[in-house]
Each structure stands twice: as C-alpha cells, then as structure tokens.
Amino acid sequence: MLLGKHINKYYKQYWYFFVLGVAALIAVDYVQLFEPIFLGQIVDHLSEAEGAVDIAFIGSLCLKLLGIAVVMFGGRMLWRFTLFNASQRIQAGVCREMFRKSERLSPRYFHATPVGSIMSWFTTDLETIEEYTGFGTVQIVDASFLGILVIVRMFLLDWVMASFALIPMTLIIVWGALVEKFMAERWKDRQEKYDKLYDFTQENFTGINVIKAFVKETSELHAFAKVARKNQDANIAFVRVSILFDTLIEVIIAIILSFILGFGSWFVWATVTQTPIVLLGHAIALTPGELITFIGYFDTLIWPMIALGSLVSMRGRAKASLKRIDAFLDAEEEIHNASDAKPLENVQGAVAFSHLTFAYPASPEIEVLKDVSFSVRPGELIGVVGRVGSGKTTLLTMLLRLYNVPDGTVSIDGKDIMHATIDSVRSAVAFVPQDNFLFSDSVRNNIAFGAENASEDDVKRAAAFADVADNIEGFPDGYDTMTGERGVTLSGGQKQRVSLARAYLKSAPILVLDDSVSAVDMQTEEKILANIRSERAGKTTIIIASRVSSVAHADRILVLNEGAVEAFDTPQNLLSVSPTYSRMVYLQELEKEVKGGEA
C-alpha cells in the first residue's frame, strides 16, 4: 500500500470499498484453487476407468467447475467495481486538494515553477497513483494471499516439486528489492524530462506569432528536437529497465515450468511403472491427475509472480509521483489570513499607503517601491502615472494581497489589510490587469465572471459602460460569441473593454484600472472615462495610465519616479511641482502637434 500524509486519509474515507474489494478478491483467489483439483480428478478417473467412465461423477465435477466460473465472474466484477472505484475517488480527492492548494499559493510560486511541472503533477503523476491504489492493490493481494495459498497446496501435494517452484518466487523477490529504488529514480528522471518538454511546447504555442514574425520556425524545431530527444532517452532508459525486469521474470518462469513438465512426466512414468524415484529421502509418487493439478497450481502461481514483478515497477513509479505531489501540497503558503483577521464590512473606498517599501521575494535586494505614502478619500478618481518600471502596477496590486506587506503600510477604510480576511479585501477591489486575461468561454460569461446571478440586462449594461456593446452585438453570435483561449478571437481593444465590463459588473467600492484603455482610440477612451465619472460617482476609482490624457480629469494624480512618490496633487498643480508629469504633458502635446502636421 502507498502511504503518505496526503493520501492516508482517503484510505480511511473509502475503507468500505477496500474491504469489499479485497474480500471479493480473496474469495476469487480461494475458489479458483479448486479448479486444478477437479481437473486432476477428471484426468485420474479417465486414466483409471479402463472404458467404464462414470458419467455422473464427471458431470458433478463439471458442474462444480461451472460453479467456480460463476463465483469467479461475480467476484471479479465486485472487486473491479470497488477497488477501481476507490482508486478513482482517491485520484479525484487528491486532485481537488491540489487545485485548492494552487489557488492558495502566491504568484511567486508560479513564477518559480514551470507550467509543465504543474501539469505533469495533475496528469501523469495522479494517474500513476490512481493505478497503484487500484490495480496495485489487486497485485498486492494476489501476490501475497494467492501466492501463499498456492504454495501451501503445492507443498501438500509434493514438497520436493514445490521446492523447485519456489525458486522463481525467491529470485523475483530478491531481484525486485534490488531494482525498486533504481526504477523510482528512472521514473523521476522521466517525469522531469517530460516537464521540460511540456514547458517548451506550451511556451512555443503561446508565442507562435512571435516565432512566425521573426521566421524562427526552423530554429525552434531544432530546439524542440533536442528537448524531445532527452525526453525520448529518459523514456527508453526507463522502459529498458522495466522490460529487462519483466523479461527476466518470464524467463525464470518458463525455465521452471519446463522443469516441472519434464521431471513431472518422468515422475508420473515412474509411478505408473511402479519404480518410484527418491529425491532428498522422499519417494515421489505422482499420478497423471496429480501432475495436472500441480501444473494447474503452478500456472495459477504464475500470475502472483508476474504481479510481484510488476508491483515493483509500479510501486517505484507511484512513490516517485507521490513524492512530487507531496512537495507541491507541502509548499509554503505565504499569503494567508492572520490569526486575528476580520472581514472588511461596508467598505467606503478610503485607501492609504504609509511608508511602504517593497521588494519582490525573488529579488529582495531590489526595492520596487520606496517609502510610498499617500491616501485616497472615498469616492475620489485618482490617476497614477510615471515612467515604465516606476512601480505603478506593483503599487496597486498591493491592494489585492497578492504579496505580504509590512503591518500598517496598506489600509482600506483605516483597517490594515494584513489583519483583514483575504476574501473581504479582494471582494472590495475590482481589478483590470494589463494583460486582460479572458477565459475560453462566451463573451457573456466572461463579463459576468465576477458577479453571481448577473442577468442579461446587467451584462449588457456593463458592456455599454465599457463601450463594447456595439462590437459584441455586431458579432454573428452576439453575447454567445466564444472568445477562444485568452480571448484570441477578440482584438486588443475589445479584450480591454470586455475586461473593464467584467470589473464594472462586480460593483466593488474600489476599482483599479491598470492601463486598461491603452489599446482603444481617443474617442472610445473619452467615452469610457466619461462613463467612469458618471456611473462610478461616489465610488473610488484608481487609473494607472501611460497617457496623461487618460487621467487629465482625475481629482488627483499620483506621480511615481523609480518607485518613490514624486508628487500627489491635482493635475493643475502637478505642472509646477512634478518634473515627470510636466515632461509627460509636454511630450503628449508634442505628439499631438506632430500627428496634426502629418494630417
């Protein structure tokens, strides 16, 4: 049995499946041992009958064989249903646990962990564990219970012949113990190579447009061939060891079976001619029926021996897979509720940053934000501007508790977000990120994603707010149009506006737009900003912008320069107090003049 702190609880939860399954399996194993006995009795009766065959006796034995077949059929149906059902439930339970874990992990974990590794854990590793907890349980019971029963029956029939039959079992056990760890290492290496192959493939499919634009198809194909070759070599190395192990078992079994047939026939001949053979002080006397029975026992023993060999390989793979999954489930959860965390209630939208200095965990020596302090009153429309890399996006993501910040540095309505529940903090903020991620679903479902029980009118109202309603209604399928993976069927501006509609429909007290109108024209931008001013009146809205025109009508504008606050004032006052803002205004006016001259 595969043991581990993340899987043991499922054995307790589904114990009744395992009890019923193992009981049915043992019953099948026990009943099938009578088959060689009845066959041997039929052979002995026919060989001794000398023309006077007892049809009734033969018929009763055939009925018994039929009964054995019925019991075996019912038992096998039962253990297949129970044990495989349990293994599927265990796989589903671990998968759910892993998914919930992935939702609790911080962005830093996913930045440091390749997508291929995560996908491999959720697919091949889980399938390996499912295989071992289901079919592996069958092999454990058969290799132990059935194997022991057969060996006992063989010894009762003839202990010398049985001793020969034990040779393969002993060799398989020794060989399995030697190669189990080696098999686990091979499987681990195979999985790691598969992770890299998946990562490379996923990255190329995601960036296929860039590859085509730079005519890099051939070079990427060669690079893929190298990664695929390493994956192939790892698979071949694992399969080579596995096949070698299985082949050796088959050879041992075949050799012993040939000895049993050869020497068994000799012993039967000696018995028939009444010249018994003595080995190790034991006179061997085998009738033809007893030889058939013994061969039947050994034939029954072949499966436990094969199962024992297969179990070694399967257990090595399962242990390696469980170790990888355990490492994932044991990963540190950096973002969690404090012991005294309380939910935010009746949020008004006041936001305050107090001497916040922040560096990403992956590069703690680089301060992205430096002693940032400012406050936003409820209902204000705030703009955030600055050069590329000045920390604008990082600053506003602090409101979502995606990273831990020092106590007392970020608050909503005067309450420290580090001591508020994560769900309540994130519920208070609607966020439109730069990448405008859309799910592979209908436009309607993408807009309604953040609002439960949103009606059709609500969705249309949100689309109108983002000035994307006309575009959607112009699609052949309207709001039922499928966006494709990451919204591939929509233009950049349409994706931005659908993302904006999704955030608006959440109707959160605080709305954060991270450069969310950069891909639309000036006229559309003005409509959206006008809608924000009218429909978000009384609610806090913070707009990160690369164009000054996007925040020109804001109540106040925060100017960041290399992670520090350069100024925070009205647009009019900033012209005289902020060199960065003044330069941005000047460059935008110059851009308008140049475009006007070209026109």
Number of domains in the chain: 3
Mean pLDDT of 176-180: 67
DSSP codes of every residue in 96-115: HHHHHHHHHS-HHHHHHS-H
The verdict on residue 26 lying in a domain is yes
- Cα first-last separation, the chain: 77
The verdict on residue 339 lying in a domain is no
Q: What pLDDT is stored for residue 343 in this prediction? A: 92
Q: What pLDDT is stored for residue 599 in this prediction? A: 38
Residues 459 and 519 in one domain: no
The verdict on residue 179 lying in a domain is yes
List the beta bridge partners of residue 375: 352
The verdict on residue 337 lying in a domain is no
Mean pLDDT of 143-170: 79
Residues 238 and 272 in one domain: yes
Top mean pLDDT of 62-76, 156-170, 470-484 is at: 62-76
Tens-place pLDDT, residues 53-106: 778 888 888 999 999 999 999 999 999 999 999 999 999 999 999 999 988 888
Which residues lie below 8 Å from residue 565, measured CB to CB, with a gap of 6+?
371, 372, 373, 374, 558, 559
Rounded Cα–Cα distance for residues 276 and 238 (Å): 49
CB 35 within 8 A of CB 296: yes
The verdict on residue 150 lying in a domain is yes
Q: What pLDDT is stored for residue 598 in this prediction? A: 47
CATH number at residue 459: 3.40.50.300
Residue in the block written with tokens 């409101």:
399
Domain containing 283 equals: 8-329
* Reported pTM: 0.71
pLDDT surpassing 90 at residue 313: no
Residues 282 and 408 in one domain: no
Least confident of 149-158, 306-315, 331-340: 306-315
For all residues of the chain together, what is the average pLDDT? 84
Residues 388 and 365 in one domain: yes
Mean pLDDT of 365-375: 91
Confidence of residue 542 (pLDDT cuts 50, 70, 90): very high
The verdict on residue 1 lying in a domain is no
Residues 49 and 95 in one domain: yes
**Residue at a domain's end among 486, 507, 528:** 507
Residues 186 and 274 in one domain: yes
Rounded Cα–Cα distance for residues 353 and 351 (Å): 7
Which residues lie below 8 Å from residue 409, measured CB to CB, with a gap of 6+?
353, 354, 355, 356
The 3-state secondary structure of 426-437, one letter per residue: HHCEEEECCCCC
Mean pLDDT of 582-598: 72
List the beta bridge partners of residue 567: 559
Other Cβ atoms closer than 10 A to 168: 23
Residues 264 and 275 in one domain: yes
If 0-12 CB within 10 Å is exposed, 13-18 middle and 19+ buried, where does residue 97 land?
middle
If 0-12 CB within 10 Å is exposed, 13-18 middle and 19+ buried, where does residue 483 land?
buried
Mean pLDDT of 122-145: 88
Mean pLDDT of 323-344: 88
CATH number at residue 318: 1.20.1560.10
Tokens of 326: 């355990």
Q: What pLDDT is stored for residue 78 in this prediction? A: 94
Rounded Cα–Cα distance for residues 257 and 231 (Å): 39
Mean pLDDT of 321-331: 90
Strand order in the sheet with 351-358: 369-376, 351-358, 410-412, 415-416
Q: Helix, strand, or coil here: 398?
A: helix
Tens-place pLDDT, residues 502-528: 998 888 899 998 887 776 777 888 888
Residue 364 or 93, more confident: 93
The verdict on residue 225 lying in a domain is yes
The whole-angstrom distance between residue 449's C-alpha and the CA centroid of its chain comes to 23
Nearest to 3 by CA among 328, 321, 319: 319
Tens-place pLDDT, residues 397-454: 889 888 888 999 999 999 999 999 999 999 999 988 887 788 888 888 988 887 878 8
Residues 220 and 242 in one domain: yes
pLDDT surpassing 70 at residue 180: no
CB 315 within 8 A of CB 136: yes
Residues 266 and 402 in one domain: no
Rounded Cα–Cα distance for residues 487 and 494 (Å): 9
Rounded Cα–Cα distance for residues 33 and 289 (Å): 15
Residues 464 and 377 in one domain: no
The verdict on residue 338 lying in a domain is no
Nearest to 558 by CA among 351, 382, 431: 382
Confidence of residue 316 (pLDDT cuts 50, 70, 90): confident
Which residues lie below 8 Å from residue 291, measured CB to CB, with a gap of 6+?
40, 264, 265, 267, 268
Least confident of 43-52, 421-430, 549-558, 578-587: 43-52
Top mean pLDDT of 240-244, 323-327, 452-456 is at: 323-327
**Residue at a domain's end among 286, 306, 329:** 329
pLDDT surpassing 70 at residue 281: no
**Residue at a domain's end among 483, 507, 531:** 507
Percentage of the chain with pLDDT > 70?
A: 95
Residues 314 and 294 in one domain: yes
pLDDT surpassing 60 at residue 597: no
Q: What pLDDT is stored for residue 557 in this prediction? A: 92
Strands 415-416 and 429-432 come out as unpaired
Residues 417 and 442 in one domain: no
Tokens of 538: 């009384």
pLDDT surpassing 70 at residue 339: yes
